[in-house]
Structure 1
């Protein structure tokens, strides 16, 4: 999703069907407000969540007022991280209709479970997903075979992926039990965790994401449940 940015006068004219001169008069008379403040400058850029209102003969007409929204969802296995799918239940199918305009900020594989974030804030979701942010993402992983120190060391150094001709960024592999571990990534390559363990021929049985940045999935939150994130991360 691209961020919304356009000139105030152009936006008002489009919304009201007014010509440029009519919009200029509204601005000059102090009848246009931007984020609840009178604005006389038509060249002022409005953002995705700017509130724009116009006083039309004493009646306040709100032309645009979209509030940023951030949702966390506990994704169950078998639910696809997509907005539309012909074969599987999507994450939007788990949400009420008023949230169906949201987009996903960082996907999970079909079989993976755990924390999934959805929003209408394109800039926020890009900061979560773009590699330069290096935002830590936490996963609990179960394996078919015991985890070795060699695997821990290799994760810390990075593992070479021949298909992309690249070496993964250093990752933390914290052993929890003989066949389970916490993995902390600051990178998101295709099927990265499965492929990193695949380097050691250690099949991954399950992947569960528990945290993105400072946003944690509450242990008491059941699969399929969602809630509003009241404290989205501040970059």
Structure 2
């Protein structure tokens, strides 16, 4: 479903170009939970930004369902993500403080002019699935980090995407909360058959729900990782 071929990306540094992605290639099957592992600063988020059409690679190709997307115009990234069925949860949750949990989850549907009653019903269903039914009327300032992450995931799934990209979904959470978030991701993957890519430096935790992935190295190269998930 997702094919990445020989992806390269560099940024200008004080002493010349810094190659962040260096001939990265991998394939993700439909409905899979795939890990993009590695320590901080090795290009994981850059790779995610290329996959989500927020940045263009210098060279190489990205195909989603056979369509080449790496050369598409990033100015229309939002429209393209909608058409391709891509949804992204970035670090920091990006929730609107002026909206309740329910209001945040409803927002993508409101933007798409979905009738309010339908948007509300879908948002409430997602909040119930993510265990936040009793917190739907709370504002982000009254939610814990784990609850904010659940709201962000619910908001990302309310448009029924085919692909969900998660950038460090457990990095700011304690181990117990992080484990519960990953279990939630696994549950939602089963329910919605959504393909999930998890960017994380917490490799041991993430590999509890992933069976394949790549490890990003400091030189921008990637190494394939295969191992059965720990049940």
Q: With structure 1 as the length reference, what TM-score do the two structures score? A: 0.29
Higher relative contact order (CA 8 A, sep 6+): 2
More helix by share: 2
